[in-house]
Structures are given as C-alpha cells and as structure tokens.
Structure 1
Amino acid sequence: MFILGIDLGTSFVKLSIYNIENQQTIAAVTFPETEVAIEVLHPDWAEQDPEIWWKNICDGLQKLQTKAGEAYKQIKAIGIAYQMHGLVCVDAQQNVLRKSIIWCDSRSIDIGNQAFASIGKEKCLEHLLNSPGNFTASKLKWVKENEPDLFEKIDKIMLPGDFIAMKFTGEITTSIAALSEGIFWDFKTATLSKDILEYYGFSENLIPTIQEVFSEHGRISKKIAETTGLKEGIPITYKAGDQPNNALSLNVFKPGEFAATAGTSGVIYGISDQLIYDSKSRINSFAHVNHTTQNPRIGILLNINGVGIANSWIKKIASKDLNYEQMNHAAAEIPIGSEQLSFLPFGNGAERMLENKILQAHLDNIQFNVHKPAHIYRSVQEGIACAFKYGMKVILENGITPKIIKAAYANMFLSEVFAQTFVNLLEIPVELYKVDGSVGSAIGAAYGAKIFTSLEEAFQNQSPNNIIEPQKKPIAYENMYYQWEHSLSKYL
C-alpha cells in the first residue's frame, strides 16, 4: 500500500512514495535542482510566490511518476508538510492575491509587539501561549494596513500547506495546530482568539473550515488528476507544519520527548502536556499534531533562523568550488574553537530567542595571518551549535529537561563537526534516524486515512541509525562557548 508524502520547504520540495507494508521509501525526488529564491524587496522582508511552490510540486510529481512506475497509480492517501507561519491570501475564486510573506519575514514585528502590549502580555501568554510577534496574524495585519484594497479582496487566508491542499482539491481547510502557529488560537477557550480577531479587525470568515490534523482535507479533483497523473479522488489526510511534522517523523509525541532539525533554520522541539509558555516569548508554544483539548500536547519550539542558510551562504561566498562534504572535511582539520574565530548566525531576520532583535550575522576576531577558509567553515558550524546551546538555556529555564534528542540524519547533522559540537555543548545524546519530512508526512497521512490504527503502530519498527554521545572534552568546548557568548554580548 503506497502513500505520497510532500514536504514543502523554503528551498526545495521533497516528494516520496512510502510503502506502508514494509515501511520503505520506494521512490523520492527533490525539486528544483537549485534552491528556490527568497525575494527580499526591502531589508528584513522575505517573500515567495505560492504558484511557484505549486509548479515545483507538479514538476516534481512528473519526475516521481517516472521513478515510481506502477506504484504511482496505487497511491491511497497524501500527506503534506510545509514551511510554517507563511501567509497566503486568495480571493473567492481561489486566485492568489499576493506573494506569500514567509516565516523569516520581519516586517510585522512592531505590529505584533503593539498587540502584545495592548491585549496584555499576561493575557496573550496565558491564552495564545505566545506574543503575536511576526507570526501569520501580524503579517495579515500588515497587509490590512499597507495594502487595504488587496485586503478587501481576501476571501480566505491560509498557511502554505493549506494552499497546496487547496490546489489539489479545490477545498480550503485548516486545523487547530495550524491556527496556533499563526497565533489565531485561544488555548484557554479552545476557540479562535477573539482578542486577536477584534484587535486586528479580522472577520472570522477569513478563517478556513477547522478540521483535525489527521482527517480528510479534500480529495484530488478530476482536473488535477489529469494534470498530475494521480488518481482522481485520492484523499489528503494529513497537513502539518515542518517542525511538528519532523517531530512526528521521529516518533516524538509524548511529554518530555524532543526532536531537532538543522535545515534552512534550526529548531529544538519538545513536547509538554501543560499549556506552557516563556514569559519573554523567546521560545514558542504551539499545538502539536496529536493535541486535543482533553489531552494537551504542546510543542515547545526553540527556533534559530540562520542555520543551514548560514552554511549555504558561506559556501557561495567562500567555497564555490567545494561541496558540503569537502567543506566538512576541511573544517574537521581545524582545532576546536577555530582559533578564537566566532560566528554569530543571526543574519536571517528577527530571532525570537533574542526577543525578536535583528542582530544580523557577525564573524568576530578575524586574524589575517591565522585564519584560513577552513577556519570560517568550522566557525560557522560551531557558531550555529553555540546558538543552539544559548537557546537550550531558555528551554531549561522553563522547566523542561531533555534526556535525549532525536534528529534526522540530514542537513547540518551530516557534518561530524557540527553534530559532535552540538552534542558536546548541550551535553545531551542525539539519536540520528534516516527519515525526512516527506516520509513523515506520508506516515501522518497513513494514520489520518486509518491505515495505521495508532501512532505506536506506525513507528513500531523504527530504530536509530546512529547515537552520538557527549565526549569528555569539556574545557575546549567551554572556552569556545565562552568566546562566542562574549562576542554575542557586544551586539545585544
């Protein structure tokens, strides 16, 4: 039995066909071959065209059909994972009205801060579990204030995954998990937030039909079946943001369990059964995929915007002739601490863990007669790991202590330098699994389609491919982190 999993990332879309019976991926493609651009029309803005997302999915499906053969015609359900917090606006005919204001866009920070103060910090945190910040609701308010004629044409607003499901089916739905990541959900009343809607002046009619994460979100239309070669009527039975979906793919559902990612951005994501929040909103709390009002499952999310994108930037600027594996090998030849070179990876918008400050990235303590390109490669990876440690201190302040962290054996975790530095600084073992977001979304869809009777059944055969334990080298890592934190203090 075959399930299609889609992972709509910032840079690429990944599509996989997953065989439920033997729990193996039988075909997978990544599209396009070069990274999708982020349009920066103004400093600290970030936009992408949703129609480009859809085109990339359709083109990727053509490649997937060629690779999968007959299995492509036997797909039983579809799951969608997507980049979180983006705003997609459509009119009554489902036409896209403007480019999506995506997750790392910082234009609405002041709007969110004003809402935080006006609604009341305590009320926001107790009911929304977050400051409105520059999340989806605040992005929509920016559109209302700055593009009023366009705002009047909006029939429905969506997150990126809701948009992709709409393109497949013609139906528009959302979920509590999606609404919570947009800061539209009131956890105390278990309803749409009247405070947000009234303060920002939004009609409830803008919000799509609310359904469970694991439920039917429409079926493939005849037109799309003819375009994509998929069978008409296939249900979409799962939609989730990329970080909750990553946690799902790693079997992270219970209180105290933790997942991590180190892709374009970096995340540590833990589960609590309490409506927990950070008093300064430096970490964020959203409904996890298995959250219900009766049995709360809150995803506690520490985010760093500049992770894989920082490594990618250094590659473009300083090492065009090297691939990532060669960069990692060169970095491994440099001593721990990069001979006092410190990198602050904060060049991709406002950082929530730094209270929404926009610090930009910095490379500190450069010595022309000492530092070579390999020092920069290593310092970037160490700087990202240091940022994770800095954020982990916020998590610990909020009374959550992970015993182990699960992560996909992908992206930055493919680098031994980064992975070992991450583990040694946090002093927490990491289990690495060969999974990805598209496989996670396929598994979520199988559960949503009731092919799996429980989440436990879906992961009964999963086991880690590698476990990285902290090494006994505390002094070198402590000195490196001290140097990094000293560099950070100059910009805070």
Structure 2
Amino acid sequence: MLLLGIDIGTSSIKVSVVDANTQQVIISGQYPEQESDIIAKQPGWAEQSPEMWWAHVQQAFNLCKKNATFNPQDITSIGIAYQMHGLVLVDKDQQVLRDSIIWCDSRAVEIGNDAFEKLGHEFCLSHLLNSPGNFTASKLAWVKQQEPAVYARIHKMMLPGDFIAMKLTNEITTSISALSEAILWDFQTNTVSAELMELYGIDAALIPEIKPVFSDHGRVSAEVAALMGLKAGTVVSYKSGDQPNNALSLNVLQPGEVAATAGTSGVIYGVSDQLTYDPQSRVNTFAHVNHTAEAQRLGVLLCINGTGSLNRWTKNLFGAAINYAQMNDEAAKTPVGAAGIRILPFGNGAERMLNNKIVGVHLHDIDLNLHHQGHIFRAVQEGIAYSFRYGLDIMRSNGLHPSVIRAGKANLFLSPLFLEAFVNATGVPVELYQNDGSVGAALGSGIGAGTFSTAAEAFENIKPLQLVTPTNTAAYEPVYQSWLGYLNKQN
C-alpha cells in the first residue's frame, strides 16, 4: 500500500511515494531543478502561475515513475502541502482567472491595516486571532478593488493546495485550517467571519465547501488517472499549508511541541490549546491540522520572509562557480560575529514580525581591507539565526517557551554553521529528522484515508537523526545584541 505526497513550494514542487507499512520513502522527485520564477510586476508584488504548479506536479511525478520500480496503481491516497496564504481564483469552468498572488506579496498591507482599524483590534484579535494584515482575504479584497472585471467572474477562491486538489479531482473544497490562514475564520462563532466578509464586500458563495483537513476532498478523475498513471478514484484525503504540514511531518501535534523550517522563508511553529494571539499580530495563530472546536489545537507561527532566499541570493551574487557546501566551508573559517559584519535579512516583502514593514536587507560595517567572502557568508547565516531569535523572543513574550525545536534536516538546517548559530542564538536545542513536506503530506493522506488508525501510528517508525545543543551562547549573545541595535534603527 503506497501513499503519495505533493508539496507545492515557492521554489519547486516535490513529490514522494511512501510505503504505508514502514513509513519509509520509496522515491522522491523534485521539479524544476532550478528554482521557479516569482513574477514581480511592481515592487513588493509576488505572483506565480497556478497552471505552472500543476505542470510541475506532473513533471515531478514523472521523475518518480522514471527512476523507481513501483506501480502507481498501488497508490491508495494522496496528500497535498502548499505554500500558505496564496490566492487562486477560478471561474465556473475551473479556469484560472489570474496568476496567484502568493504569500510574500505585499500589495494588500494597507487594506488589511484599514480593516484592523475599522473592525477594531480587540474584535480581530479575539475572533480572527490576527490582524487581517497581508493575508489571503485582504488579497481578495485588493482584486475586488483593483480588478473588478476579474472579481465579477470568480466562481471560487482557493488556497494553492485547494487548486491542485481541484486539478486532480475536479472537486473544490477547503478546510477550517485553510480559511484560518486566509484570516476568514471566526474562532468565537466557528464560522466564516461575517464581519470581515461584509467589510470587504466578499460574496459568501466564493468560499468552497468546508471539510476537515483529514477527509475525502475528492477522487482522482479518469482523465487525470490516464494522464499520470494513477488509479481513477484514488482519494485526496489531506490538504494543509506548508507550515502546519511541516509540523505534522515532525509529529508536532500537541500543546508545547514546536517545529522549525529554514527554506525560502524561515518559520517557528508551536502548538497551543489556547486561543492565543500576539497583541501586535507580529506572530500569527491558525487552526492546526488536528484542530476541532472540542479539542483546540492552534498553530502559533513566526514567519521570516527571506531566509534561504537571502542565502541563495548571496550565492548567485558570488557566481555559479561556488556552491552551498563551499559557502559553508568558507564561513566556518571565520570567527563568531563575522569580524564585525552585521546583516539584516529582511528583503522579501513586508515582515509581519516587524509590524508589516518592508525593511529590506542591510549589510553593515564592511572593512574593505579585512573582510572577504567568507565573512559575508557567515554574516548571512548568523543574521538569519538572529532573526529567528528576535521572533522567538516575541513568541516567548506570548507564553511559548520551547525546550526543544524539531526540524527537518534540509535547506539551511543542512549547514553545521547555521545550526550552531541557531541553537546558540536562541538557547534552544534542535532535534533533526529526515522527513520533509512531501513525506508529511503522504503520511497525512494515510491518516485521512484511515490507513493509519491514529496520527501516532503514522509516525511510529520516524526517529530523530541528531540532537544539536547550545554550547557557546556566551559568544553569540553580544553579537545578537549588536545585530539588534542595527535592527532597532531600521524598525
């Protein structure tokens, strides 16, 4: 019995085929090899083509079929993880009306801020657990204001994972978790927020059918089955935003458990059983994958927009001749603090933890006679680690105090230097696992389809690879305070 997981990332699409009996990966495929483009028609804008995602899903799955001996007909369920907060719009024929306005797009900041004032801070925080901010609902309001002809043709609005499920099944569904990340869910009434919908003038008919995260979201159509080699009628039984899904993949489901990622963006995600919120909405609270009205499970999310993206930008700046491993080696030859260089890694749109300000990347105190590329490589990774510390301190002020953070051994967590900087800057050990988003989505599909009787059963064979503990906090703390001084001048 096989499970298929699909992870709709910003940079690429990854799929994994997992053996349900062992929870082990049979094969994974990723497409494209080079990172997908983000369309930026204006400063602060960020869009991608949903049809590109769908084409890349097929290409990634074709790589799996080409390079492994498994029968696609043995796949019994499909799970989907996806980049959060994106807006996808389709007409009544399920045709895409415009490119998706994705998570790091900043065009709706003022719309969300205005809604925060008009609805009232107390109402938004107690009912929505967030400011409407720069989230999916505010992006839809932007379309209504700026592209009325497009808005008039909308049949359904979706998150990116809802769109891929639609392409597989021809069915359009969503979940409370998805609507909460769109800032459309009222946790006090357990319904779509009538007040926000009315303020934005959004027709309730645009909201898809709401189903549990772990449930039947449709069956693979005969046409798609023939196209991909799957069995017609295979159930799509799980859909989740990438960060709740990453937490699931690390078996972070209960109050007090915490997960982290450091890919294109950086995230710390902790689980709470309280309807908690940050008074300034610098960190955000959404319904976790296992949330119900009876047993509340909320994901408290810190997001830093530009972590891996800054590391990639730095690599590209220094030319194709250098790779990430070489960057790490060069950085490791330099001392803690990068001989005085400080980098603020905030160049990928409005940062929620900085009150939705667009701060930009700042590089401070280069000495042309002293510093070389290794110092810059180290300053980049340290600057990213310090941004995690800054956000974690906000989470601590709101009652989340992790004793250990679980992370997948991927992206920046592959770098020993980044791991050292992260644990020593935050003072929290990191437990590393091999799982990734596509594997988590596959296991989630097994939970949703009933292949596993409980979530615990789905992860019984998933063991940690490594525990990294703080050993040199005394060296990192003064550097962090210096870095913080530069941030306070910008913020």
How high is the TM-score relative to the length of structure 2?
A: 0.99
Confirm or deny: 8 A CA contact 2:343 2:380 kept in the other structure.
Answer: yes
What stretches of structure 2 of length at least 5 have no aligned partner? none
1:407-437 C-alpha deviation (Å, 9 max, x unpaired)? 0000000001101110011111100000100
Match of 1:262 in 2: 262
CA distance in 2: counterparts of 1:58 and 1:23, whole angstroms: 23
Q: Match of 1:272?
A: 272
Corresponding residue number in structure 1 for 2:328? 328
Inter-partner Cα distance in structure 1 for 2:369 and 2:300: 44
Q: Residues 128 and 186 of structure 2 are in contact (CA less than 8 Å); yes or no, is this contact kept in structure 1? A: yes
Name the SS for the 1:361 alignment partner: strand
Residue 375 of structure 1 corresponds to 375
Asked if the contact 2:23–2:443 (Cα under 8 Å) also holds between the matched residues in 1, the reply is no
For the residues of structure 1 that align with 2:168 and 2:137, how far apart are their CA atoms?
25
Q: After the TM superposition, which residues 189-200 of structure 1 pair with which residues of structure 2 at under 5 Å, given as runs?
A: 189-200=189-200
2:246–2:440 CA contact under 8 A, matched in 1 = yes
Give 1:328 deviation, angstroms: 0.7
Paired residue secondary structure (2:285): strand
Between the aligned partners of 1:458 and 1:292, the Cα distance in structure 2 is 20
Partner of 1:449 in structure 2?
A: 449
Alpha-carbon offset, residue 71 of structure 1: 2.8
The structural deviation recorded for 1:275 is 0.3
The alpha carbon displacement at 1:22 in A equals: 1.6
2:490 matched to which residue of 1? 491
Give the Cα separation in 2 of the matches to 1:293 and 1:387: 34
Worse-superposed segment, 101-110 or 455-464: 455-464
Correspondences of 1:357-396 after superposition (within 5 Å): 357-396=357-396
Distance 2:22 2:490 in 1: 52
SS at match of 2:115: helix
The SS at the match of 1:331 is: helix
The amino acid of 2:415's aligned partner reads: S
Residue identity in the other structure for 1:65: K
Whole-angstrom distance in 1 between the partners of 2:321 and 2:26: 33
Structure 2 equivalent of residue 297 of structure 1: 297
In structure 1, what is the Cα distance between the partners aligned to 2:193 and 2:51?
30
CA distance in 2, matches of 1:61, 1:400: 39
Q: For residue 428 of structure 2, what is the aligned residue in structure 1?
A: 428
Residue 221, structure 1, aligned to residue 260, structure 2:
no
Q: Once the 2 structures are TM-superposed, how far is the Cα of residue 147 of structure 1 from its aligned partner?
A: 0.3
Deviations 1:27-84 (A, max 9, x none): 1111111100001100000000000000111111211112233332210000000000
Cα distance in 1 for partners of 2:482, 2:340 equals 7
* Superposed displacement of residue 474, structure 1: 3.0
Confirm or deny: 8 A CA contact 1:47 1:102 kept in the other structure: yes
Question: What corresponds to 1:477 in structure 2?
Answer: 476
Read off the aligned partner of 2:71 and give its amino acid letter: A
Do 1:91 and 1:97's aligned partners in 2 also have CA atoms closer than 8 Å? yes
Cα offset, 1:319, TM superposition: 4.1
1:203 Cα deviation after fit: 1.1
Corresponding residue number in structure 1 for 2:407: 407
Residues 150-161 of structure 1: matches in 2 within 5 Å? 150-161=150-161
CA distance in 1: counterparts of 2:314 and 2:177, whole angstroms: 35
| Pairwise CA distance, 1:449 | 0.4
Q: Secondary structure at the match of 2:78?
A: strand
Task: Compute the displacement of 1:483 (Å).
Answer: 1.5
User: What SS does the aligned partner of 2:435 have?
Assistant: coil
> Does the 8 Å contact 1:238/1:445 carry over to 2?
yes
Q: Is the 8 Å Cα contact of residues 259 and 270 (structure 2) preserved in structure 1?
A: yes
Contact 1:101–1:139 (CA under 8 A) maintained in structure 2: yes
CA RMSD in angstroms comes to 0.7
User: Which amino acid is the alignment partner of residue 459 of structure 1?
Assistant: F
Q: Distance in 2 between matches of 1:475 and 1:429?
A: 15
**2:308: which partner in 1?**
308
Instruction: Provide the identity percentage.
Output: 55
**Conservation of the 8 A alpha-carbon contact between 1:163 and 1:172:** yes
Match of 2:30 in 1: 30
Q: Give the corresponding residue for 1:113.
A: 113
CA deviation string 1:99-158 (max 9, x = no partner): 000000000000000000000110000000000001000000000000001100000000
Q: Distance in 1 between matches of 2:133 and 2:419?
A: 31
SS of 1:233's partner is coil
Partner of residue 339, structure 1: 339
Alignment of 1:52-71 (within 5 A): 52-71=52-71
Aligned to 1:207: 207
Name the SS for the 2:26 alignment partner.
strand
Give the distance between the partners of 1:477 and 1:53, measured in 2 at CA: 40
Matches of 1:274 and 1:475 in 2, distance apart? 34
Q: Is the 8 A contact 1:340 1:483 kept in 2?
A: no
Match of 1:418 in 2: 418
Q: Distance in 2 between matches of 1:23 and 1:173?
A: 27
Question: How many Å separate the matches in 1 of 2:473 and 2:303?
Answer: 25
CA distance in 2: counterparts of 1:50 and 1:4, whole angstroms: 20
Q: Aligned runs of 1:243-262 on 2, under 5 Å?
A: 243-262=243-262
Regions of 4+ moved over 4 Å: none
SS of 1:198's equivalent in the other structure is helix
Structure-2 separation of matches of 1:67 and 1:74: 16
8 Å contact 1:197–1:203 — kept in the other structure?
yes
Could you say what secondary structure the match of 2:68 adopts? Answer: helix
**Structure 1 residue 395 displacement after superposition:** 0.3
1:404–1:429 Cα contact (<8 Å) kept: yes
Q: Are the aligned partners of 2:407 and 2:430 in contact in 1 as well (CA < 8 Å)?
A: yes
In structure 1, the gaps of 5 or more residues are none
Q: Distance in 2 between matches of 1:490 and 1:40?
A: 28
Q: Take 2:370 and 2:435, find their aligned partners in 1: how far apart are those partners?
A: 40
Q: Which residue identity does 1:480 align to in structure 2?
A: V
- Cα separation, 2, equivalents of 1:35 and 1:291: 33
Matched residue of 1:412: which SS? helix
Q: What is the distance in 1 between the residues matched to 2:69 and 2:223?
A: 21
Counterpart-to-counterpart distance in 1, 2:251 and 2:88: 30
Q: CA deviation at 1:462?
A: 1.9
